[in-house]
Amino acid sequence: MNKKYITHILILLIIIKNVFTQAIFTKTNNVENVIDYWTQEKMSNAEPMLSPIGELNKTTSNNEKGRLLSSVSDSDSINPDVESDYLLTVGKLFFTRSGKNLVCTASVINTRDGNTGITAAHCLYSKEGEYAKNVIFYPGYDNGKPSALGKIPVIGLSVPKSFMISRVDDYAAIKFDYPGKLQEQTGYFGWGLTPTSPVNITIFGYPYNGEIPNCSKDGQNCCVWRGFSTLEFLEFPKITTAWKVPLHIGSGASGGPWVMRNNLPSYLGYLIGVTDFHVGVKKNGKANEYADALNFTLINTLIDWPPSQFSKF
């Protein structure tokens, strides 16, 4: 039997539905394959994932909702002089879906297992209900090159059931296949703090277009935007409470972290969302990008990888 055929039939997909935790875990057992799969050519030709687009005029600002959320003061000031934006914590995430090679942004978050990251759910799970395959993470990818950490296969995906049903909670956890704890190598973003609105934040991502100033917009560099984000209640393109920034971040940056108290090089900060969808276009000067406000109870269930499936591989 030829080798290709054998490896093909070994690809295994186990889906564990947990009705109590509201998270749906998927295991992909094709670690050797995924490393071989991502050749330089496939990476170069991978299409940046488009963030879902909404219409302009249906957003409703809602400061009331912002006040209702339990708040943590964001008094720690952000030092705008720090230039060092190079992080291993953020990286490119390549995957296959609907027969296409695609790319998003992901980052490492603080978890007990040390091998968990976060990205946008719309990267990993399609409207048609298809999961991403051949998922691989390049922490610290920059200047067109992987970092010394290279590529890290992803063996588990954890997508909120609420996202599958109504596209809300557009964030998902990924489990890295890494000997030891990847977060000790890359650093990690904390999570669990809900700031008051507006908040100073930093957004990281690998966009191929969009409006981040001083960004190569070719997906080769980790671009950084710093500014204020405000919390809004939206009814369109979906009913959600989301953080807003006044620019289009761009394709390929989907899933990139939005962090508060990012004060490099000492403090990586706390995750408040990931790049999700944009509304409007630049030509009328009204583009905004949004990140669903995080539900930390939900995140706790997303990162609770079933031990029997994910503890040892």
Ligand X SMILES: *[C@@H]1O[C@H](CO)[C@@H](O)[C@H](O)[C@H]1NC(C)=O
- Are 218 and 208 within 8 A, CB to CB? yes
Minimal distance, residue 271 CB to ligand X, in Å: 16
Minimum CB distance to ligand X, residue 2 (Å):
45
Q: How far is the CB of 5 from ligand X (least distance, A)?
A: 41
Q: List binders of ligand X among 101-120 (CB under 6 A).
A: none
CA nearest neighbour of 271 among 111, 48, 84, 68: 111
Q: Which two tokens stand for residue 154?
A: 């992803």
Among 24-32, 77-85, 203-211, 273-281, the segment contacting ligand X (CB under 6 A): 77-85
298 is an interface residue for ligand X by CB under 6 A: yes
Q: Site residues for ligand X, window 192-231 (CB under 6 A)?
A: 200, 214
Judged by CB under 6 A, does residue 284 bind ligand X?
no
Which of 46, 91, 119, 85 lies closest to 206, judged by CA? 91
CB of 213 to ligand X, least distance (A): 6
Closest CB to ligand X among residues 29, 295: 295
Q: Which is nearer to ligand X, 161 or 181 (CB)?
A: 161
At 301 the three-state DSSP class reads: helix
Number of H helices, E strands in the chain: 9, 19
Contact of 117 with 107, CB cutoff 8 Å: yes
Question: Would the CA dihedral through 142, 148, 151, 156 be positive or negative?
Answer: negative
Q: Which stretch binds ligand X (CB under 6 A): 63-71, 75-83, 113-121, 133-141?
A: 75-83
Task: Look at residues 24, 20, 23, 13 and name the one whose alpha carbon lies nearest to residue 298.
Answer: 23
Residue 145, beta-bridge partner list = 142
263 counts as binding ligand X under rule CB under 6 A:
no
**Nearest distance from residue 244's CB to ligand X, in Å?**
16
| Rounded-to-integer distance, Cα 104 and Cα 109, Å | 16
**Interface with ligand X in residues 30-59 (CB under 6 A):** 57-58
CB of 200 vs ligand X, minimal distance in Å: 4
CA distance 61 to 99: 39
Q: Which of 24, 46, 78, 104 binds ligand X (CB under 6 A)?
A: 78
Per CB under 6 A, does 295 bind ligand X? yes
Residues touching ligand X, count (CB under 6 A): 13
Q: Site for ligand X (CB under 6 A): which residue of 77, 84, 308, 311?
A: 77
User: Binding of ligand X at residue 70 (CB under 6 A)?
Assistant: no
With a CB cutoff of 8 Å and minimum separation 6, the contacts of 238 are: 54, 166, 167, 168
Residues 137 and 116: their CA atoms lie apart, in Å, by 11
Q: Rule CB under 6 A: which residues touch ligand X?
A: 22, 57-58, 74, 77-78, 80, 200, 214, 295, 297-298, 301
